[in-house]
Chains A and B, each alone.
Chain A
Amino acid sequence: MTRFQLEIRVVPRPGLLDPEGKAIQSGLLSLDYPDVQEVRVGKILLMELVADSPKSALDMATSMCERLLANPVTEDFQIQILEENENSE
Chain B
Amino acid sequence: MKVAIVTFPGSNCDYDLYKCVQFIGGSPEFRWHQDSSLGNVDVVMLPGGFSYGDYLRAGAIASMSPIMEAVQIFANSGGPVLGICNGFQMLCEANLLPGALLRNESLLFSSKEVILRVENNSSIFTKSYEHHKTLRMPIAHAEGNYYADQEALDQLEKEGRVMFRYANQSGETTIESNPNGSVNNIAGIINTHGNVMGMMPHPERAVESVLGSVDGLDLFKSLLAHIVDPRPV
Mark A residues whose CB is within 8 Å of B: 16-17, 19-20, 23, 67-69, 71, 73-74
Contacts and interface: CB of A to CB of B under 8 A. Distances in A.
B148 interface: yes
Contacts of A68: 56, 60-61, 64
A71 B64 CA distance: 13
Centre residue among B57, B60, B105, B106 by max chain A CB count within 10 A: B57
Interface stretch (B25-33, B95-103, B217-225): B95-103
Interface in B29-77: 56-57, 60-61, 64
A51 to B, nearest CB: 21
Nearest to B149: A73
Interface in B153-201: 181
B56 A74 contact: no
Given A67-B64, A71-B100, A74-B100, A19 B147 contact: no
B181 A17 contact: yes
Contacts of A74: 100, 102, 147
Contact of A73 (B56, B100, B106): B100
A23 B107 contact: yes
11 contacts: A17-B105, A19-B103, A19-B105, A19-B107, A19-B181, A68-B56, A68-B64, A69-B56, A71-B93, A71-B100, A73-B148
B99 A73 contact: yes
Interface residues of chain A: helix, strand, loop or mixed (majority): helix
B73 to A, nearest CB: 19
The interface size bin for chain B is: 20 to 34
Contacts, number: 35
A45 to B, nearest CB: 9
Contacts of A19: 103-107, 181
A14 to B, nearest CB: 12
Contact of A71 (B60, B104, B149): B60
Contacts of B147: 16-17, 73-74
Contacts of B61: 68
Contacts of B107: 19-20, 23
A22 B147 CA distance: 17
A71 B105 contact: no
Given A19-B106, A23-B107, A68-B64, 7 more contacts: A16-B147, A17-B181, A19-B103, A19-B105, A19-B107, A20-B107, A67-B64
